[in-house]
Amino acid sequence: MFSEKTELHGPDVGRILEDAGSLFKQIGIQKPEPDAVSSTDGLPADFVIVLYGEIILPTQMVGRLTPEEWRPLVASSIIFQYTIIRRQNWAALPMIALPLAGAVALTLVLIGILGPGRSNGLLEITLIGSVFTATLVLMMPYLNQWSQGGRLKADREAARIVGKDSMLQSLTRIRNLAQEANTQRRIRGYGFAPSLNQRIAKLQRES
């Protein structure tokens, strides 16, 4: 998943794994519990990934958060990876398939109007590339909203398990530490993810 990871050891790791096992049971995940913890530079400061028997932490926060502060982030990741993302994938099929089907139909119509076969395939290739590029550009705001919504929903569901105050305290702690260290939030591959401020603001609005 990441090119460089560092496996972590120590008392905090044992506590993080213990908490993850407890969360798996609370959430009702019927999958093998994680048995390893590692860190990588490839994650934003407020992101944790729990997948394939491993917990991956952002390197910039390792040693700066307690196991209790990691727990809400681990809970949110478990909920997102094992429940929400699966539901979202099914729900996203019509949102993706219908525009692409429309793009195919429009391309065929344009090729028919402009005349097929008159440019040794160059016209067809140009039309296909242009129409599909335009379709993807138009879909970007919806895909962005879809991705952010799933992660924010995971935060909300995690807050019900670990407590809203605990969730907010962890996120606020990370924001303060990131500001002190002047840590850049955006990392390649996470442009569709909600910002740390968005996560905090959304939880604060929840009753």
Mean pLDDT, residues 38-63 taken together: 94
Handedness of CA 168, 49, 191, 128 (dihedral sign): negative
Structure confidence at residue 17 as a pLDDT band (50, 70, 90): very high
Residue 61's DSSP bridge partners are: none
Please state, in angstroms and rounded to a whole number, the distance separating the CA atoms of residues 79 and 150: 10
- The secondary structure of 48-109 as a DSSP string is -EEETTEEEEEGGGTTTS-HHHHHHHHHHHHHIIIIIHHHHHHHHHHHHHHHHHHHHHHHHH
Contact 40, 59 (CB under 8 A): yes
Give the predicted TM-score (pTM) of the model: 0.73
Amino acid (one-letter) located at 83: T
State the burial class of residue 198 (Cβ atoms within 10 Å of its Cβ: 0-12, 13-18, 19+): middle
Q: Residue 130 CA to chain centroid, in angstroms?
A: 29
Half-sphere exposure of 183 (CA within 13 A, CB side): 21
Contact 52, 35 (CB under 8 A): no
Please state, in angstroms and rounded to a whole number, the distance separating the CA atoms of residues 111 and 89: 32
Contact 34, 17 (CB under 8 A): yes
Q: Which of 3-12, 95-104, 128-137 has the highest mean pLDDT?
A: 3-12
Least confident of 27-36, 116-125, 162-171, 197-206: 116-125
Mean pLDDT, residues 56-67 taken together: 95
pLDDT for position 57: 97
Mean pLDDT, residues 35-46 taken together: 93
* Runs of H (alpha helix) within the chain: 11-27, 67-79, 85-114, 122-162, 164-181, 196-205
